[in-house]
Amino acid sequence: MPFRTEGLDELRRKADIVAVVSQTVALRRQGQRLVGLCPFHQEKSPSFSVSSERGLFYCFGCHAGGDVIDYVMKRDGFSFPDAVAFLAAEFHVEMPEEEATPEAAQRQERRQVLLRLLEAAQERFSRHLAGPEGEGARRYLAGRGLTGDDSARFDLGYALGGDDICRSLKATPELLLEAGLGAKSQGGRLYDRFRERVTFAIRDRAGHIVGFGGRILGEGQPKYLNSAETPLFHKGSILYGWSWAQRTMREQQAVTLVEGYMDAIALHRHGFPATVATLGTSLTDDHARQLGRAVKRAYLAFDSDAAGQAAVRRSAEPLLQQGIEVLVAQPRGGKDPDELLRAPEGTATWQKTLEQAAPVTDWLFAMAGRAHDAASPEGKAAIAQEVFTAIRAVQSPLVRDEELRRLAARLEVREEALRLEFQRGARSGDRMHTLASPRNSTRNTAVATKTPEWLPIERQLLALASQYPSRAAEIRTACRPLHDQTLDAALELAASGKDVSATEDGAVRSAWAEASLAVDLAEAEVAKTIARWAQAGIRLRLNEVNRHIRELLESGQAVDPSLLVLSHELLRELGASAKGGGEQRP
């Protein structure tokens, strides 16, 4: 951990959780507690409560909980160190210097040096854009409707040729390479990565510049260029515009996803600030997880060309798996958002485009309808398969059910036949996981569906691993893998003796924080909880097998005898394990 514990204790004491929560949530007193509408899930009556004297928050609806640092991490999407830094500044707490290992200290110091170097590069880029050498770049930007004010607001700049950055910034070649500002020729010569390009500074969620994008002026390839992957810059986890978008995103519980810098900037300028862009990569699971913690709904506003359509298909699944409602916003006439907004009445047209955005299943239906004959049974089956890909990723059984009902009506087929087709694909395909084991983080599953039996057990396992570190390896061996991926990752780290709070993955870190804040448990609970976990696993499988049998019977199909055998075996196993668990009790 990068901070000493006494510093953190003082921070937790001074950073008033009520003040922090009240920045965005209206709280009212109810007995000892303060309650309000939960900022992390949609609700009509308040199940979110805050205890000022204990410095904790907890939501009885979605089970989000923790201390003031967890709250800021969750609300603002900050990493642990960034949340600590934010609160320390807000409440004027001096954090003592870390007493970390020399390696960790060195890494931290190196990171600071790189961040400063990137800031310095941005200063230089922005100076060039304003100066005489930036005339061509300014003309290009003006042609896209961007003025000098926009340049400052959106961190634009201009990179000169002639290795200006490598020569002018006082840094070693290694640092310039590591910051992604320099590149090496085959002959080993260091040169500027960004040359004669309009530059876009790319910030992480805490607002630090971690890389750049550059658009070439005039002709040439590639048209757009990003920083290479560096210790600070990972395309697969950065969403461009997040630091400007986050407040509105959380207020509106919605985000618009676009493909590039210019589209993102155009939407921000025209009053649609809840917009972020992927950086020439498809949306990753990591992106989706970050969004899943911030919003309930995503509008995909990609180009309407083949590449844009492919991007919609690829992005929908990870978002749906996070419990996010996915809509496709494609303006008429095939224009991209930037073009459209510059046209007369652009803002109103875009507003309308959002209002008319289609659920992704409708969009898939329309697309498949162009490729297949919706009148023939084969065509109907083919269309159904394409829409199933999205329906399978939907986490809420209620929504999934409703989607199937709608699809049957639109295809004009019997609903039962469609459901059979849907289940058949799910059992033979590789998508079993979406039905059997939610890949979601703890918090998101809880929003849309009933909390599964294993979830509180797995939380308790992690709490025990935190409270009795010497038993962590034993828990790991007995319970593998946990159904919840986040908890599983945390347990894995804890069992291997690593500092879980130092992990890169924010979800894992906050799950660990929550586990560490859990009520004290007796050590005897270790064995009992392991036994309960095993039983829950068997019960889960048993329920699935039985449900499958019931569905077959209800639809008048033959039931494979091996299914009945399996059901019996599981039942017996359950009985045996219940007895085994009982014997372990004192």
Which lies closer to Zn ion via its Cβ, residue 42 or residue 112? 42
C-beta of 38 vs 121, nearer to Zn ion: 38
Return the range that interacts with Zn ion (CB under 5 A); candidates 52-60, 127-135, 297-305, 478-486.
Answer: 52-60
Residues 502-541 that bind Zn ion (CB under 5 A): none
Task: Please report whether residue 41 would count as binding Zn ion according to CB under 5 A.
Answer: yes
Least CB distance to Zn ion at residue 451 (A): 12
Which span (58-66, 129-137, 189-197, 317-325) binds Zn ion, by CB under 5 A?
58-66
Q: Please state, in angstroms and rounded to a whole number, the distance separating the CA atoms of residues 550 and 552.
A: 5
Smallest distance from the beta carbon of 62 to Zn ion, in angstroms? 3
Strands 224-226 and 297-300, how do they pair?
unpaired
Choose one: 33-41, 225-233, 257-265, 545-553; the region binding Zn ion (CB under 5 A): 33-41
What is the C-alpha end-to-end distance of the chain, expressed in Å?
Answer: 38
Q: Which helix (H) or strand (E) holds 30?
A: strand 28-30
Nearer to Zn ion by C-beta: 59 or 181?
59
Q: For residues 23 and 531, what is the distance between their CA atoms, to the nearest angstrom?
A: 43
With respect to Zn ion, which residue has the nearer C-beta, 39 or 318? 39
Report which residue type is found at 308.
G
In whole angstroms, how close is the CB of 65 to Zn ion at the nearest point? 9
> Which residue's CB is nearer to Zn ion, number 48 or number 242?
48
Touching Zn ion, residues 60-79 (CB under 5 A): 61-62
Q: Can you tell me which of 40, 78, 233, 388 binds Zn ion, judged by CB under 5 A? A: 40
Report the nearest approach of Zn ion to the CB of residue 501 (Å): 23
| Closest to Zn ion by CB, 41 or 268 | 41
Encoded tokens for 46? 């308040």
Tokens 């049957």, residue located: 408
Give the helix ranges, DSSP H, for 15-77: 17-22, 68-76
Establish if 456 lies at the interface with Zn ion (CB under 5 A): no
- Contacts with Zn ion by CB under 5 A: the residue count is 6
Whole-number Å distance between alpha carbons of 363 and 167: 51
Residue number with CB closer to Zn ion (23 or 428): 23
Q: Which is nearer to Zn ion, 38 or 171 (CB)?
A: 38
Region near Zn ion per CB under 5 A, out of 35-43, 187-195, 409-417, 471-479? 35-43
Output the smallest distance, CB 37 to Zn ion, in A: 9
| Interacting span for Zn ion (CB under 5 A) from 41-49, 98-106, 341-349, 417-425 | 41-49
At what angle are helices 377-393 and 306-321 packed, to 10 degrees?
50
Q: Closer CB to Zn ion, residue 35 or residue 311? A: 35
Question: Interaction with Zn ion in 347-386: which residues (CB under 5 A)?
Answer: none
Look-up: residue for tokens 């239906």? 365
Residue 305: half-sphere exposure toward Cβ, Cα within 13 Å = 5
Shortest distance in whole angstroms from residue 250 CB to Zn ion: 13
Q: Cβ 462 to Zn ion, closest distance in Å?
A: 20
Residue with the two structure tokens 């390009």: 197
Question: Which of the ranges 40-48, 285-293, 298-306, 335-343 carries the binding residues for Zn ion, by CB under 5 A?
Answer: 40-48
Where in 534-573 is the site for Zn ion (CB under 5 A)? none
Which residue number, 41 or 128, has a Cβ lying nearer to Zn ion? 41
DSSP states of 556-579: TPPPPHHHHHHHHHHHHHHHHHHH
Distance of alpha carbon 351 from alpha carbon 344, whole angstroms: 13
Nearest approach, Cβ of residue 294 and Zn ion (Å):
14
- Of residues 416-435, those binding Zn ion (CB under 5 A): none
Q: Which stretch binds Zn ion (CB under 5 A): 31-39, 70-78, 137-145, 320-328?
A: 31-39
Which of 220, 256, 242 has its CA nearest to residue 350?
256
Q: How many CA within 13 A on the CB side of residue 420?
A: 14
* Residue 407: how many other CB atoms lie within 10 Å: 24
Find the shortest distance in angstroms from Cβ 22 to Zn ion.
Answer: 17
Kindly state the tokens that stand for 162.
Answer: 């002639």
Give the shortest CB-416-to-Zn ion separation in angstroms: 36
Closest distance to Zn ion from the beta carbon of 442 (Å): 12
Comparison of 64 and 316: residue with beta carbon closer to Zn ion: 64
Part of the chain binding Zn ion (CB under 5 A), chosen from 56-64, 67-75, 365-373, 501-509: 56-64
Write out the two tokens for 221.
Answer: 């390839």
The three-point CA angle 352-353-357 to 5° equals 115
Q: Which residues contact 129 (CB under 8 A, 6 or more apart)?
A: 137, 138, 151, 156, 157, 158, 198
Residue 59 exposed, middle or buried by CB count within 10 Å (0-12, 13-18, 19+): buried
Angstrom distances, CA of residue 518 to CA of 67, 83, 136, 276, 500 = 11, 21, 59, 35, 16
Stretch in the footprint of Zn ion (CB under 5 A) among 34-42, 119-127, 318-326, 458-466: 34-42
Q: How far is the CB of 35 from Zn ion (least distance, A)?
A: 12
Site membership for Zn ion, residue 38 (CB under 5 A): yes
In sequence order, what are the residues at sequence separation of 6 or more whose Cβ sits closer than 8 angstroms to the Cβ of residue 572? none
Report the distance separating Cα 191 and Cα 165, nearest Å: 9
Q: Which stretch binds Zn ion (CB under 5 A): 55-63, 408-416, 526-534, 563-571?
A: 55-63
E-only strand ranges, 125-263 = 156-159, 182-184, 190-192, 197-203, 209-216, 224-226, 254-258
Secondary structure class of 480 (helix, strand, coil): coil
User: Residues 126, 246, 148, CA angle at the centre, nearest 5°?
Assistant: 25
- In the complex, the smallest distance separating the C-beta of residue 407 from Zn ion, rounded to whole angstroms, is 31
Of residues 47 and 304, the one with the C-beta less far from Zn ion? 47
Considering beta carbons, is residue 322 or 330 the nearer one to Zn ion? Answer: 322
Binding residues vs Zn ion (CB under 5 A): 38, 40-41, 59, 61-62
